[in-house]
Structure 1
Amino acid sequence: MSGHGAPTVTADGHGLRVAVVAASWHAEVMDGLLDGALRALTEAGVEDPLVVRVPGTVELSVACARLAPTHDALVALGVVVRGGTPHFEYVCQGVTAGLTEVSVRTGVPVGFGVLTCDDDEQARARAGLPGSTEDKGHEAATAAVATADVLRRVAPSTTTRPEPEGARR
């Protein structure tokens, strides 16, 4: 059971600027992940999160890198389902490394809501859909906001985060 041992995390997102970057492949699963993330942000008091949709999971890293300078936290949502080629491993490794690099380089927490599953059934079970056993979109958003909240208290940023040009909320 992958949720075994998970901590209870509370997040105060009041005053934080948060963006959610979500892939488009596997629409049913992605809709569940996005709904869970937005619900978590509402529960944490985040107002007007920016939602950006990208074509696939590979594009999450570049979108997060572009948004990091103007946000206090990011949530990356995607799903990769194993197939019969090495594509799964390349995508999973690349996205994990890319999102980690964005977070470490910029100091902006990136909630990792990328499902890496053997089949569609596993993805649906983790997507926060009716009947799902887990809600990884909610977990990723909560983790990102909780981390941003901790960082603003222990290591406040010395930079201001301007509104990105052409951003729509």
Structure 2
Amino acid sequence: MALSSDSNTLLDLSEIMHLRNGKVGIVYTEWNDAIINEQIAGAKRIAEQTGNTVSNLVKVPGCFEIPYACKALYEQTVNDADGPNAIIAFGAVIRGGTPHFDYVCKAVTEGILQLNLTLPVPVIFGVLTLDNDAQAWERLGGVHGHKGEEAMIAALKMIAMQNNLQ
């Protein structure tokens, strides 16, 4: 089982502390809102700590709708100077007693993959795929780190990577 502490460079903020154009949009679900609210809070903490911003917050009903909303957010802000240069997708899918979990997880994963191959801004996969509610809290400040914070770190590092390629 992978732990955040197994990859110290992932959590190193030094390369993004001087990034000042980090505008990150967040697309998030209404389902499992206590979990999602903590993911967003973690992302905002890192943005504030590094002097970057959350430029947009877009709410969708569930994880299946995330890829559409990410694409719509990009298309609506492409000519906006304050639009995001990265997007984070936050959601939490908790396994139930039917195969619905598998279908939703596969759809959102493949949707975000397609966005990363077609949009000129990175889309960070912040969707938690869980067997139970307790696993979420292990990933939101527990033994598995804080996935909301890690998603923002990944978004800002991807923006820095893009800046370095230009």
TM-score higher than 0.5 here? yes
| 5+ long unaligned stretches in structure 1 | 157-169
Q: Counterpart of 1:145?
A: 156
* Cα separation, 2, equivalents of 1:126 and 1:63: 24
Q: Counterpart of 2:26?
A: 20
Moved more, 12-21 or 72-81: 12-21
* Cα separation, 2, equivalents of 1:119 and 1:55: 20
Q: Which stretches of structure 1, 4 residues or longer, exceed 4 Å deviation after superposition?
A: none
Give the CA deviation at 1:80: 0.3
RMSD: 1.6
For 1:106, the aligned partner's letter is: L
* Cα separation, 1, equivalents of 2:150 and 2:36: 14
SS at the partner of 2:161?
helix
Contact 2:91 2:127 survives alignment (8 Å)? yes
SS at the partner of 2:115?
helix
SS at the partner of 2:53?
coil
Normalized per residue, which structure has more helix?
A: 2
Normalized per residue, which structure has more strand?
A: 2
Contact 2:44 2:54 survives alignment (8 Å)? no
Q: How many pairs are equivalent?
A: 152
For 1:151, the aligned partner's letter is: Q
Contact 1:30 1:127 survives alignment (8 Å)? no
For 1:146, the aligned partner's letter is: K
Please state if 1:44 is matched with 2:45: no
Q: Counterpart of 1:80?
A: 93
Relative to the length of structure 2, the TM-score reads: 0.84
* Cα separation, 2, equivalents of 1:77 and 1:106: 18
